[in-house]
Structure 1
C-alpha cells in the first residue's frame, strides 16, 4: 500500500463528512448490566506493541490493574520501561489525543495518538495490533499540498479525536484550533477501504470559535430521539461569552448551550463521553468542566445530558483544584459496560489524580511504573480503553472503539491505554531520560526488516527527494531537493571529513541527521532506525539478486544497465591511498554487472544534478562551478567481486581486533572504500568520493561503519570512547592541529555544529540508539 505522502490527497470535506441522518431506535441492542460483576484483570502489557516511545519528551503508556491494587501499571518486568527514542520529538507544550478503532472486517485494532512536534506540525502515530508496529504521518505535511493546508498551527493547540464503526461507517476525526481560535479538523472517512486517505473537515461550514486557553472534547454518541445529540459530538468553550456549547456531526451550525458561562471557568478543560441510560439505550452524554470556587481554587463539575443538560455533582470535591489558567487537563473514560466512570486529572505540578464512580466516588488508582513510583513530571494526558473484539448478535454486528470508551454486549477486559507525556529539556538538547538498551532506538540489518518495513524506508527516502531544498535560491542551484542537500553538504566538507581525525564522528552525526529527517519530515516510523548493510552477509550470491539491489519495490533499486566494452578500473594514486594495503597503484578492479543508468525498482530513472566529480579532485580541489546543475542519470555498477575483495568477513574481524584507534582507522580505509566501489564501480554515484550520498545505499553502508566503530568503542570504553587520531584535514597534513573532544564539526543547513565529544557515544547525550 502506498504511504500517505505519496497519495493524491483529496481536498474539501466531501459528502461523507456531514449530512448524517438519525438512528432508528429499533436497531438498538440492549446492553447487559454487569455493575455487580467482578472486575477482570488488566490486559497484560506487551512491550514493543503498546508503548509509544518519543524522544526529548517521553510519551509513555499504562494499563489499569485491578481496582483493588490502587495503581496503574506500566509493564510487568522492571527492566522494561519504554522511554525516549532518539530523533523524534514532541513539542514542549503539545497536547495529546488518543482513540481506538477496531476493523470490523478483520478484527485488527488500530490505536491513534495525535500530538504536535517542535515545529507545531500535527503528527499522528498509529499502532496496528496485527503487525504490532507503530507508523507515523505528518498531517501538516499531507495537507500542505492541498487547497486546505493546516500547516500553521498554534503551539499547544487543543486536540480532540474520535473514531467508530457503525454499520457501514468507519471513521476517524481529529479536531484542533487554528491561530484565529476557530476550530477545524481532518478525517479518514473510510477506515476499512481507504485507511490512509485524509480529508479536510471544515465542520460543515460552521465557524466555531473557542475561548483562548480552553480545551475541546469529542465523542461518539448514539441518540434515538430528535433531541439527542447524534453521530459524533464536539464540545468547546465559546469565545463570545465563555459558555460551553456542543455541536454534532448532523449539523455543526445547529449547536446547543451545554453549560452556561456562570457555571464555567474561563479557559476550562473539557472531557466528554457517551453514557448508558434507562432501557439500555445509549442516549445521553457525560461531560466534565471546571468552575471556580474563588480566584485561587477550582472544582471539577460533572454534567449530564438527557434531553437537557444538568449538573449532578462535583468531582474531586475534597481537593482544591487550581484555576484552569494553571493547566489542568482531563481524561474521562467509562468501563464495564458503561457502569464505571473514570476521571483522570493532570494537575499543574505534573502529577495525576482522579476519581471513579461505582456506587459512589472513589479514589482513582495512582500512576506507578514497573520500576517503581513515577517521578516524571507529566505535561499532557490522553486516554482510551483497551479495544476488544466486536460482539455479533442475530440482528447487528457492533464495534465501538471510541475516544474514551468501548461498548460491548458482554463484559470486556478492564484495561485502558493512557498516554502520558513527561517534561523534558528543549528540543536539540541532551536526553532527559537515561538511555538504556530497552529504550534505545534499534538500527537493524536490512535483511532483518520485513518487506513492508523495507518499503517504508524506501518510501521515506523518496519522500525526502520530493521536498524542496533548504538552500537559499541561487546558493546551490544543483541541489534541487531536501535529500540532495545532504550530498551537497558532504561535497562541501569532503576534504575535511575523509581520511582525517573526524571521519567517524562526522559521519555518525550525518547519519543521525538523515534519520531525524526521515522521522520528522516523511513519517518514517518512530520505532525504526536507519538500517545497516552487513557486507559479508551478501557475498553468497550476486549483489543484483540480493534484497538490497534486486530491483523489487522493497529494494534500494536495481543495478545500472549493462555497459558494453568498458575499460578496467585502474587504481590511481588517489584511490591507492584509500584501498591500501589490499590494493596498490596500478592494480585493476574487475568490472561490475552494470555501469549505466538505474532503470528498475525504487529510485529508477532518477536525474541528479551534482557531480560527477573525479577522484583526482581530492588532490586538486573542486572546480569553481561545482554548485551549478549538471543533469545526468543515477547509475550503478554492482560488483560482488570488489565487495568480497575489500569488505569480507576476515577484513571485518581483523578490523575489530585492532588495538587502538590508529590501527582501526588504517584497517577501515579499504573496507570503507569497498562498499563504495562495490556499488558504484567506475562511474556510479556511490563511487564518487564527493557525491556518494546521492545513492541511498550510502546510508546503509555508513551505518555499518558506524556500527563497527561502536563495537570497537564498547570493547574498551574507558580507552576508546574519546580516542581520536588525526587532524581535521584530508590526509592529516603536517602542521594541521590534532583533533580533540572540543573539535567542532560544522553541518551548515543540515543541523547544528557538534563537537567530537558530543557524538562519541551512541547511547548518551544527543543520541540514544544501538545496532541489533
Structure 2
C-alpha cells in the first residue's frame, strides 16, 4: 500500500510536467435560478432523509443504459466512473470530470426519484481528524456506520445501505459484494481547514489541482479516511458517501475560481492521461507531505490487490477526445455514457453557465 501511495505522488507530479494553460472567451449564461447546495451538517432531519430516500430509489430502479455490470440506476453511475477512471485521476480534467459526474448524479436523483433538493456536500473540515464521530455515519438519517472486518471485506452493518449488494467492483471486477468502510481518523488531516486554505491560496490551476488531489490533500483525506471501497480508484462510487465527498471538492474548486473569475473560469491545463498505467489511489496523508509518523496503511485499509487495476478485455478503452497532443484543453470531451449529455471542459467551467446551474451556501 505504501508503495502504491508513493507511486501515486510520483504520477501526480509527472502529470503536471507540462504546464499548458488554455483560456476561452466568456459566453452568455443561461443559468438564472441556481439551486443551492448545502452542507450535510446544516440540513434538517427531513432534508437528510429526503436525500437518503432518493439514493435508495436509484438503487431500486433497474438500469436502462446497458452499462457493464450495472443492475440499477445507482450502479450505472458507478459503471461510468469505472469506464473513465484511467483518464479522470492524476490528470488536468480531474475537476471538470467529477463536476459533471456529480451533476449527472444530482439530475438523476431529481428526475428519476423526485428529489427536490440540491446535491449536499460533506464539509470535511468539520470532521477532520475525527471522521469516526461524524454525523454522516449516523444510522438514520445518515449513511450508516463503519465496516466490520471479515477477511478482505469490511462490510457496513448499520444504516439504510447495509443490505445493498453492489455488482461492480472492487476495481474492474464484477462480483456481488457489500458496501465496505474502514474509517481511519489518522488519514484525515488533509481535510483540515488549514490544508484547504493552503490550496485556495494557490495562484494557478496546476498548483491548485495538485494541492487538492494529492494524497496529503482534501481528495486523499476523504477517500483514505473513509477507507475500504472509497480507497479503490476505479469503483469508489459504490459507497454513496462518494458523491458528498466530491461535491465538497467541487465547492473548493468553485471557491478558488470565484477569487478571480475573469481568469479562473477560463483556465485549464495538465496532462490528459496519467503518466503511466496502473495508477494507485492516494489514500492516507499527512499535513506537510508524506505519511504521519507510525502510519501503517495495512492497519486501516483492507488488503488492496494492484491486479484489480488491470482492465479486462470487456472494459472499453477510455478515449481522450477533443485534445490535440497530451495536454488537457477546453475542448476535451467529458463522457457520461448517457446519464447526461457529454460536455466539453469549456462547458462545465462555470457552475452557473449554459449547462450547469447551481451555487453553494
Matched residue, 2:356 = 767
Matched residue, 1:575 = none
- The structural deviation recorded for 1:563 is 5.7
Note closer, same or farther for the CA distance 1:726–1:753 as it changes in structure 2 (3 Å cut): same
Note closer, same or farther for the CA distance 1:712–1:732 as it changes in structure 2 (3 Å cut): farther
Matched residue, 1:558 = 145
Matched, 1:468 2:56: no
Q: Find the aligned partners of 1:601 and 1:470 in 2 and give their Cα distance.
A: 27
Matched residue, 1:655 = 199
Matched residue, 2:178 = 633
Note closer, same or farther for the CA distance 1:432–1:498 as it changes in structure 2 (3 Å cut): closer
What secondary structure sits across from 2:36 in the alignment? strand
Which of 165, 169, 172 aligns to 1:607? It is 165
- The structural deviation recorded for 1:434 is 5.0
Listed one character per residue, the Cα deviations across residues 540-592 of structure 1 (whole Å, up to 9, x for unaligned) are: 7x433321002x2211111111569x9xxxxxxxxxxxxxxxxxxxxxxxxxx
Asked which structure has the greater CA Rg, the reply is 1
Matched residue, 1:726 = 270
Note if contact 1:502-1:728 (Cα within 8 Å) is conserved in structure 2.
yes
What secondary structure sits across from 1:770 in the alignment? strand
What secondary structure sits across from 1:750 in the alignment? coil
Which of 207, 213, 220 aligns to 1:673? It is 220
Matched residue, 1:499 = 90
Matched, 1:643 2:188: yes
Which of 219, 234, 252 aligns to 1:690? It is 234
Structure 1 unaligned spans of 5+: 1-429, 567-594, 614-621
Matched, 1:458 2:52: yes
Listed one character per residue, the Cα deviations across residues 214-265 of structure 1 (whole Å, up to 9, x for unaligned) are: xxxxxxxxxxxxxxxxxxxxxxxxxxxxxxxxxxxxxxxxxxxxxxxxxxxx
- The structural deviation recorded for 1:730 is 2.1
Matched residue, 1:739 = 328
TM-score by length of 2: 0.75
Listed one character per residue, the Cα deviations across residues 526-547 of structure 1 (whole Å, up to 9, x for unaligned) are: xx2111111110137x433321
Listed one character per residue, the Cα deviations across residues 711-734 of structure 1 (whole Å, up to 9, x for unaligned) are: 11111112211211213212489x
What secondary structure sits across from 2:75 in the alignment? helix
Alignment of 1:365-404 (within 5 A): none
Note if contact 1:465-1:481 (Cα within 8 Å) is conserved in structure 2.
yes
Note if contact 2:268-2:328 (Cα within 8 Å) is conserved in structure 1.
yes
Listed one character per residue, the Cα deviations across residues 385-416 of structure 1 (whole Å, up to 9, x for unaligned) are: xxxxxxxxxxxxxxxxxxxxxxxxxxxxxxxx
Higher helix share: 2
Q: Larger relative CO (CA 8 A, sep 6+): 1 or 2?
A: 2
Aligned residues between the structures: 286
Note closer, same or farther for the CA distance 1:511–1:742 as it changes in structure 2 (3 Å cut): same
Matched residue, 2:294 = none
- The structural deviation recorded for 1:635 is 0.9
Structure 2 unaligned spans of 5+: 1-26, 278-323
Which of 107, 112, 120 aligns to 1:516? It is 107
Q: Find the aligned partners of 1:742 and 1:433 in 2 and give their Cα distance.
A: 20
Note if contact 1:610-1:691 (Cα within 8 Å) is conserved in structure 2.
yes
Note if contact 1:763-1:769 (Cα within 8 Å) is conserved in structure 2.
yes
Listed one character per residue, the Cα deviations across residues 582-630 of structure 1 (whole Å, up to 9, x for unaligned) are: xxxxxxxxxxxxx6211101101221121112xxxxxxxx6xxx4xx31
- The structural deviation recorded for 1:460 is 0.2
Note closer, same or farther for the CA distance 1:434–1:689 as it changes in structure 2 (3 Å cut): closer
- The structural deviation recorded for 1:495 is 0.6
- The structural deviation recorded for 1:471 is 3.0
Q: Find the aligned partners of 2:265 and 2:276 in 1 and give their Cα distance.
A: 21
Matched residue, 1:705 = 249
Listed one character per residue, the Cα deviations across residues 629-648 of structure 1 (whole Å, up to 9, x for unaligned) are: 3112211011122112x222
Matched residue, 2:128 = 539
Listed one character per residue, the Cα deviations across residues 717-763 of structure 1 (whole Å, up to 9, x for unaligned) are: 12211211213212489x94312222211211222110111000001
Q: Find the aligned partners of 2:31 and 2:145 in 1 and give their Cα distance.
A: 41
Q: Find the aligned partners of 1:658 and 1:701 in 2 and give their Cα distance.
A: 21
Note if contact 1:597-1:605 (Cα within 8 Å) is conserved in structure 2.
no
What secondary structure sits across from 1:597 in the alignment? strand
Note if contact 1:543-1:638 (Cα within 8 Å) is conserved in structure 2.
yes
Listed one character per residue, the Cα deviations across residues 284-310 of structure 1 (whole Å, up to 9, x for unaligned) are: xxxxxxxxxxxxxxxxxxxxxxxxxxx
Matched residue, 2:137 = 549
Note if contact 1:468-1:481 (Cα within 8 Å) is conserved in structure 2.
yes
Q: Find the aligned partners of 1:746 and 1:484 in 2 and give their Cα distance.
A: 16
